[in-house]
Chain A
Amino acid sequence: MATSLHPDGPEAVAVLIREAAARSEPLEVRGFGSKRALGRAVQAARPLCLDRLDALHFYEPDEMVLSVGAGMPLRRIEALLAGQRQCLAFAPPDWRPLLGSDAPEQSIGGVVAGNLSGSRRLTAGAARDHLIGFCAVNGRGESFKSGGRVVKNVTGYDLSKLMAGSFGTLAVLTSVNLRVVPLPEHSSTLALQGVDAAAAVRLFALALAGSFDVTAAAWLPADLAPSVGLQGPVALLCFEGLEASVRERSARLCTTLAAGGESYAEDASRALWRALGDGVPLQARSESALWRVSLPPTAGAALLGAVPEARGWMDWAGGLVWFEVPDVGDASAACIRGQLARSGGHATLIRASSATRERVAVFEPLAPALAALTERLRASFDPAAILNPGRMA
């Protein structure tokens, strides 16, 4: 493998990309490489690593805005924000153990490029909702920007949305501007035991239809609940805010549901949701194929029942299903995507052997008109297809 490139600033990134473009030499774009195992293997010899782009451009707590180099480790950002009792609302997960990565860090650029969000995505939005501006270098080696440092902005196309979730196939992020939010004063989780998947989804629908301000809702079956120190099957509801209010809402929901549950407060509550975001329930089973499916919440439980040998759990009030299947054949891709053709939604193969990831579309296949549009869009940023070629194919 060719030597990794470690440019020390945006201009150096642009120079390297211009050189690579001139030679039609594909680049594997990465921060620390923590998510290399996700997606198709990139058909590129030369890694372009953004780890040296780790500058803090500005952090203004009273403006709730942060601007950092794309290579800044997420851990440093979280520590910085915690010092001001703030956080990233979308609860970015750490999938390194899940993906079997030994990377020392994950970069904010990688989190954004994957549009990775945790359990609070249900109510707080995804990474894409909190990226308010960026600087990047396109496949021509041109530095460009979009958005800005203010949240309310409709000036020009919102390319931030496009960059989030593009896995480095459009342009190389060099800096990102993120909105940040206050850290909730108090966190409490209500655990309702003995609830099966279908009942959990109905319960979540009730909870989210009332003024309970539930910020996250997940369900774990009996065999996966112990992975986060619980007994299952169990429905989990997160309440955040002022302590008195959290207590009142949680108690009122119990009354409404005529259910009694156990409450986990503060650190226990926060640790639980962090573990769920990180995919802990199915983290250890590296021999299986792991899917992450986003779908209408009411379809979540049905999907779990419809895929043979699937073992899984639900987040986002039923709208996100994580499950494992045996890593053989198409890893149930046809069955899953057949279900999704009826319900709507999309499935991503998060973890599988490289052979399976070559056979099976890792990302949801697109209808022909959308696939053609997507390719034209990709080419509008990177005409020679030198940035992470094949990653999202």
Chain B
Amino acid sequence: MTAAIPYDRAILARRALIAAALRRLVAADAVIADETGLAVYESDALTAYRQLPLVAVLPSTVEEVAAVLRYCHAEGLKVVPRGAGTSLSGGALPLGDGVLLGMAKFNRILDVDLANRCVTAQTGVTNLAITRAVEADGFYYAPDPSSQSACTIGGNVAENSGGVHCLKYGMTTNNLLGLQVVLMSGEIVRIGGKHLDPGGYDLLGLLTGSEGLLGVVTEVTVRILPRPAAVGALMLGFGSAESAGRCVAAVIAAGIVPAGMEMMDRAAIHAAEAFAGAGYPLDVEALLLAELDGTARDVELRLQQVQDIARAHGAVRAVVATDEAERARLWAGRKAAFPAVGRISPDYLCMDGTIPRRQLPLVLTRIQALSERHGLRVVNVFHAGDGNLHPLILYDANAGEQDRAEAIGADILRLCVEVGGVLTGEHGVGIEKRDLMPVMFTEVDLEQQLRVKCAFDAQNLLNPGKVYPQLHRCVEEGRVHVHHGAVRFPELPRF
């Protein structure tokens, strides 16, 4: 496959020298320079893109990270940080002329501070391991991306990960208290701590979701919350996506903030039911799953309120999960939606736009039209509470349908922006949506963001080629040149 980001073969020729230099900075076996060993890192969860890195380095300490970055900074070598490699947007895709900085050895929880309701963990600790460390004491870490058993907390910071419960509990950025970060220069800085809000500029907020372009996170402090005493779930079936959408709006308008609120369209319901046997009705056009948490009394009262609202908005089915097993069964279908689609189609693309909720009927109608025009099926699952849409575009790569699938994907994201939404709600821009950034941002908007990048990394060495159309250099007055990548790299897939 063509390199997604072109690389400098002269640097590749220096591989042995660079590996030798890195071996002086970290343990000798922590530098991988053979192609077999490097193959592990050739892609992240966006497997359409593959590239072997120049070398991979697996440091064990923050001092080693600093030494590696200092060396790369001095040598003008590019660096791609990587957690567990679960990015869905190619954020951890290696560069052929870049050092892959694997953070897997940063796997210790450093401090569980229940009195201050926070946990400090090294960057490579998994999201779920943080909850595991505190659950016996009745706490949990709220953001729960679907990859939570594998994805790292450092990667969550880089991507500002969400999850099905972020409607009520926020994304990573709303649950983060402190970071230790190594800048591209090799400087080690601490931002925040166990307290709320910064004393100066909010670098914590800026670094969160910066997709590894501004610094390498080595340590993370997050707030933890007491596990709600009760959780209830409700499944609602509707005769149309419009009435389901109106029901969501009415629930919100009534002052109820569910812990989660998911919607599936007819195709998704059928695929999920065939796969998971969750007991979903097959005669409805849209299915809502609402989860409510709090005290037992709260959950009971809110479930009743939501049911009343749903009835008033034409719900034709309503099932309340009264126990944990039933709740798990209702969720099983939704959680199986992606693998279920994987079973009915050889390949699929998962998109990730966010739209204002009220635009849902229009967007679904237009997605259907795109689907018919391109002759490919689209299945929709939707974090309905916060407007985050995941259309799954079904195609067969072996039948030469990839280009068409990507064209629909790009059109769907353009549609999201057109109706007031954004290109990505939780998966990140990475390499996947990089060339669509000008759809949402003007050149001035992008230049300001690139100047921010320059303030952290003037040589553009840290994860370059991701998020932004190619950045060339930072010149003195801070002006940068933005090339729209689609023109510069016509061989790139566009979506």
B139 within 8 A of partner (CB): yes
A298 within 8 A of partner (CB): yes
Q: How far is the CB of A381 from chain B (nearest CB, A)?
A: 7
Which of chain B's residues has its CB closest to A117's CB?
A: B197
Q: Which of A146, A165, A383 contacts B445 (CB 8 A)?
A: A146
- Are A373 and B189 neighbours in the complex by a CB distance under 8 Å? yes
Chain B residues closer than 8 Å to A117, beta-carbon distance: 197
Chain A residues closer than 8 Å to B139, beta-carbon distance: 209
Q: How far is the CB of B251 from chain A (nearest CB, A)?
A: 10
- Are A244 and B189 neighbours in the complex by a CB distance under 8 Å? no
B94 within 8 A of partner (CB): no
Chain A residues closer than 8 Å to B209, beta-carbon distance: 154, 157-158
B171 within 8 A of partner (CB): yes
- Are B448 and A151 neighbours in the complex by a CB distance under 8 Å? no
Interface size bucket, A side?
Answer: 35 or more
- Are B294 and A211 neighbours in the complex by a CB distance under 8 Å? yes
Contact residues, A303-350 vs B (CB, 8 A): 316, 319-320, 344-348
B444 within 8 A of partner (CB): yes
Which of chain A's residues has its CB closest to B206's CB?
A: A162
A62-B253, A154-B424, A344-B194 are contacts. A245–B358 as well, Cβ < 8 Å?
A: no
Contact residues, A215-268 vs B (CB, 8 A): 241-242, 244-245, 248-249
B366 within 8 A of partner (CB): no
B239 within 8 A of partner (CB): no
Rounded to whole angstroms, the CA-CA distance of A205 and B467 in the bound complex is 41
Q: Which of B226, B424, B427, B467 contacts A211 (CB 8 A)?
A: B226
Rounded to whole angstroms, the CA-CA distance of A117 and B202 in the bound complex is 15
Q: How far is the CB of B345 from chain A (nearest CB, A)?
A: 26
Q: How far is the CB of B154 from chain A (nearest CB, A)?
A: 16
A210 within 8 A of partner (CB): yes
Interface centre among B178, B227, B452, B477 (most CB of A within 10 A): B452
B190 within 8 A of partner (CB): yes
Rounded to whole angstroms, the CA-CA distance of A345 and B192 in the bound complex is 7
- Are B295 and A150 neighbours in the complex by a CB distance under 8 Å? no
Q: How far is the CB of B187 from chain A (nearest CB, A)?
A: 4
Binds B, one of A103-111, A189-197, A361-369: A361-369
Q: Mark B206-230, 1 if CB is under 8 A from A, else 0.
A: 1011100010000000000011110
Contact residues, A72-113 vs B (CB, 8 A): 85
Q: How far is the CB of A216 from chain B (nearest CB, A)?
A: 13
- Are A383 and B478 neighbours in the complex by a CB distance under 8 Å? yes
- Are A181 and B455 neighbours in the complex by a CB distance under 8 Å? no
Q: How far is the CB of B38 from chain A (nearest CB, A)?
A: 29
A63-B356, A154-B428, A379-B478 are contacts. A249–B295 as well, Cβ < 8 Å?
A: yes
A156-B437, A344-B193 are contacts. A210–B208 as well, Cβ < 8 Å?
A: no
A145-B445, A154-B209, A367-B189 are contacts. A245–B455 as well, Cβ < 8 Å?
A: no
Interface centre among A151, A165, A241, A298 (most CB of B within 10 A): A151
Rounded to whole angstroms, the CA-CA distance of A64 and B357 in the bound complex is 10
Chain A residues closer than 8 Å to B194, beta-carbon distance: 295-296, 344
Chain A residues closer than 8 Å to B388, beta-carbon distance: 152
Chain A residues closer than 8 Å to B188, beta-carbon distance: 369
- Are A63 and B357 neighbours in the complex by a CB distance under 8 Å? yes
Chain A residues closer than 8 Å to B195, beta-carbon distance: 294-296, 319, 344-346
Binds B, one of A45-53, A124-132, A272-280: A124-132
Contact residues, B146-179 vs A (CB, 8 A): 159-160, 162, 166, 170-171, 173-174, 178
Rounded to whole angstroms, the CA-CA distance of A218 and B114 in the bound complex is 19
- Are A144 and B428 neighbours in the complex by a CB distance under 8 Å? no
B454 within 8 A of partner (CB): yes
Q: How far is the CB of A48 from chain B (nearest CB, A)?
A: 19
Q: How far is the CB of B191 from chain A (nearest CB, A)?
A: 7
Chain B residues closer than 8 Å to A369, beta-carbon distance: 183, 187-189
- Are B183 and A62 neighbours in the complex by a CB distance under 8 Å? no
Rounded to whole angstroms, the CA-CA distance of A374 and B452 in the bound complex is 11
Rounded to whole angstroms, the CA-CA distance of A166 and B197 in the bound complex is 12
Rounded to whole angstroms, the CA-CA distance of A102 and B15 in the bound complex is 67
Chain A residues closer than 8 Å to B10, beta-carbon distance: none
A392 within 8 A of partner (CB): yes
Rounded to whole angstroms, the CA-CA distance of A166 and B252 in the bound complex is 32
Chain B residues closer than 8 Å to A138, beta-carbon distance: 448
Task: List 16 additional contacts besides A182-B254, A211-B295; criterion CB under 8 Å.
Answer: A62-B358, A115-B202, A117-B197, A150-B420, A156-B445, A157-B214, A157-B453, A162-B452, A182-B256, A211-B229, A213-B295, A213-B298, A245-B298, A296-B116, A298-B115, A363-B200
Return the 5 tightest CB-CB contacts between A and B, nearest first: A161-B205, A346-B199, A182-B255, A364-B199, A344-B193
Give 27 A-B contacts (CB < 8 Å), ordered by A residue. A63-B252, A121-B196, A144-B442, A145-B441, A150-B356, A152-B354, A155-B423, A155-B429, A157-B210, A157-B453, A161-B202, A165-B202, A181-B257, A182-B256, A183-B255, A209-B139, A211-B295, A213-B294, A244-B297, A244-B301, A344-B193, A363-B200, A366-B199, A373-B203, A373-B455, A377-B455, A380-B452
